Amino acid sequence: MTYKTFAYGSNMSTTQMKARCPKGVRVVGIARLDGYELIFPRTSSKDDRRCADGSPGGVSSIRKTTNGDGYIEGVIFEIDDTDVAALDRAEGISSNSYVKEQWQIPVSDGTTHDCWVYLANSTGDFTPSQTYKSIILNGAEEHKLSDEYKDKLKQIQAG
């Protein structure tokens, strides 16, 4: 059995996903969700997520925009269902840091996929570390997200 997840933040990095899902990952497609925005509503104290001043850096989630403008892009990965528990642990499901919901995600080839989406269970507004922002940007580059979206990611203030 396989499991599909929509990655929009640091999980767009295939390297990170392979570390979290040792049975392997397969890219299903690239997706765009209109009416959503990338946010950083909670922090992580992992060393590679800390800001330059040592403070915990913000980590990503998505939310609907209030006016319907905006969009996010991301990657749909298919993983072996035996790796789901490891991915849930990495995302902090058991500690209630993130929740997961099943969404219908449209991909660029016109098809739609049932995917699990991990959403932060917080409403803060934090600055991501430069390292974390770089992981997101590298994932966007790796999967050839639109130049417009990559430019949008580059505008994110990092600490």
The CA distance from 73 to 141, in Å, is 12
Could you tell me the CATH superfamily of domain 2-148?
A: Gamma-glutamyl cyclotransferase-like (3.10.490.10)
Asked whether 126 and 58 are in contact (CB, 8 A), the reply is yes
Determine the pLDDT at residue 19: 94
> In terms of Cα–Cα distance, which of 2, 13, 151 is closest to 74?
13
**Stretch (H or E) spanning 118:** strand 112-120
Residue 125 has pLDDT above 90, yes or no: yes
Residue 46 has pLDDT above 80, yes or no: no
Q: What is the pLDDT of residues 58-104, one digit of tens each?
A: 999 999 998 888 999 999 999 999 999 999 999 999 998 999 999 99
Residue 7 has pLDDT above 90, yes or no: yes
Determine the pLDDT at residue 93: 92
Determine the pLDDT at residue 123: 83
Domain residue ranges of the chain, discontinuous segments joined by +: 2-148
pLDDT-derived band at 55, boundaries 50, 70, 90: confident
Determine the pLDDT at residue 47: 74
